[in-house]
Structure 1
Amino acid sequence: MADEANKSAFLEIQSRMIETTAKLKQVQNQMRSKEGEKKRAYLTLEELRQLSDDTNTYKSIGRTFVLEPKSVLMDEQEEKLKDSEATISALEKSKEYLEKQIAEVENNLRELLQQDPGLARQIMSMSV
């Protein structure tokens, strides 16, 4: 009876670990994407700063380029930069939370295996 309870607890912990790890990978991918977006906005902003104020600047909209004042493009890039930084900050907090959850799940698994060494042997004997 206790053996079945330990097996079901193990399966629950295993599913939590898989789910949390997947979420962590997703957050890391989102962070990488936002870092790239932030870098593009920063580099574009730096290039725009080098231009004189009377230079014709164009904004890409799909396949079309539209004439826009330099100030409008700079404002848009600054906004993208700020948005990216805010999103990265929020994702960093999510990442820390998920890493704590993974550590907690690992501790739960470790405790379960210490309580029932027979379960550990069964897990090790399973084919992957």
Structure 2
Amino acid sequence: MADEANRTAFFEIQGRMIETTAKLKQVQTQLRNKEGEKKRAYLTLEELKPLAEDTNTYKSIGRTFLLEPKSVLMEEQEQKLKDSEAAISSLQTSKEYLEKHMAEVENNLRELLQQDPGLARQIMALSV
């Protein structure tokens, strides 16, 4: 009876671990994407700053380029930079939470396996 309860607990913990790992990978991917957006916005701003105010500047929309005033492009890039920074801080918080949750799940799994060494042998027999 206890063996069955421990096996059920193991599979439940394993499911949580898989779910947490997937969420963590997703957050890390989103974080990399937002950091790339932030860097592009920053570099675009750095290229726009030295230009004169009356310089023809173009905004890319798909395959089309629209003539836009420099000030409009600067505002858009500054907004993208701010939005990216906010998203990065939010994602960083999520990442830290998921890492703590992952450590907790690993600890629970470790405790379960130490509590019932026979369970570890049964699981190894299942995976082979």
Report the TM range for the smaller structure's normalisation: over 0.9
Report the Cα distance in structure 1 between the residues aligned to 2:58 and 2:73, rounded to whole angstroms. 8
The one-letter code sitting in structure 1 at the alignment partner of 2:70 is K
User: 1:18, CA displacement in angstroms?
Assistant: 0.1
Distance 1:38 1:106 in 2: 34
- Deviation of 1:71 (Å): 0.4
Partner residue of 2:6?
A: 6
What SS does the aligned partner of 2:127 have? coil
Question: Which SS does the other structure have where 2:59 is aligned?
Answer: strand
Cα distance in 2 between the residues matched to 1:55 and 1:21: 49
Return the TM-score normalized by structure 1.
Answer: 0.97
Correspondence list, 1:29-44, <5 A = 29-44=29-44
Equivalent AA in structure 2 for residue 40 of structure 1 = R
Write the distance in 2 (CA, Å) between the matches of 1:120 and 1:44: 55
TM-score normalised per structure 2: 0.97
Q: Could you list the runs of 5+ residues in structure 1 that have no partner in the other structure? A: none
Structure 1 CA distance for aligned equivalents of residues 121 and 64 of structure 2: 64
The aligned counterpart of 2:87 is: 87
State, as a whole percentage, how many aligned pairs show the same letter: 83
Distance in 2 between the 1:23 and 1:108 partners? 19
Aligned to 1:65: 65
Q: Secondary structure of the equivalent of 2:66? A: strand
- After the TM superposition, which residues 6-25 of structure 1 pair with which residues of structure 2 at under 5 Å, given as runs? 6-25=6-25
Secondary structure, aligned partner of 1:58: strand
Q: What is the total number of aligned residue pairs between the two structures? A: 128
RMSD: 0.9
CA distance in 2, matches of 1:20, 1:93: 15
